Amino acid sequence: MGKIANQDIIDKLSAQFGDKFTSPTEPFGLLTFETTANVIAEMLAFLKNDEDLKFGYLTDITAVHYPEEANALCVVYHLHSLQNNVRVRIKVSIPVSNPTIPTATTLWEGANWMERETFDFFGVQFVGHPNLVRILNVDDMTVFPMRREFALEDPNRVDKKDFFFGR
């Protein structure tokens, strides 16, 4: 698939970032690794500007909520190197009590709405974002609805209880 082997990317990143670059895996061939919120901006800039890697295309930014874990919010970046035809996925776990992470809008203009969407649904605070406000939900919403503690429907509803359906 890609013109650069995943192992080469791993070598390069671990040489540059040492122990800040952790747990690389390859689900379905897509190199996935973790890092911390204080080096993510530096790492994204390195991946984007490195002369061999050229991860110049930001595919997506999103988040996942794992309520059982200490750092419950996991911000996920998908980068794509169009020249080398290879993708990477970067995960950064941050605590719900202090969900701050540096913005990627300094590197890609396209990160603007992706981060606003992530903030809107998960409450991740992207520090340095020019206009971090809700984008899809109404402005007076007080919660972050994609977090796991928010049920899809009002749990007090009785008209959808199973016993009405004979289950």
> Where do contacts with other proteins occur on this chain (CB under 8 A)?
1, 27-28, 30, 32, 56-60, 62, 64-65, 76, 78, 82, 85, 87, 89, 108-114, 117, 121, 131, 133-140, 145-146, 152
Q: At what angle do helices 6-17 and 40-49 cross, to 10 degrees?
A: 130
Shorter beta-carbon distance to other proteins: residue 1 or 5? 1
* Residue 116 DSSP SS3: helix
Shortest Å, Cβ 98 to other proteins: 22
Chain centroid, CA 49 distance in Å: 20
CB of 33 to other proteins, least distance (A): 13
In the complex, the smallest distance separating the C-beta of residue 15 from other proteins, rounded to whole angstroms, is: 26
Within the chain, residue ranges assigned H as helices are: 6-17, 40-49, 111-122
Which residue, 19 or 68, is less far from other proteins as judged by CB? 68
* Nearest CA among 35, 40, 105 for reference residue 71: 35
Smallest gap from residue 157 Cβ to other proteins (A)? 14
Q: Residue 111's closest CA among 100, 121, 102?
A: 102
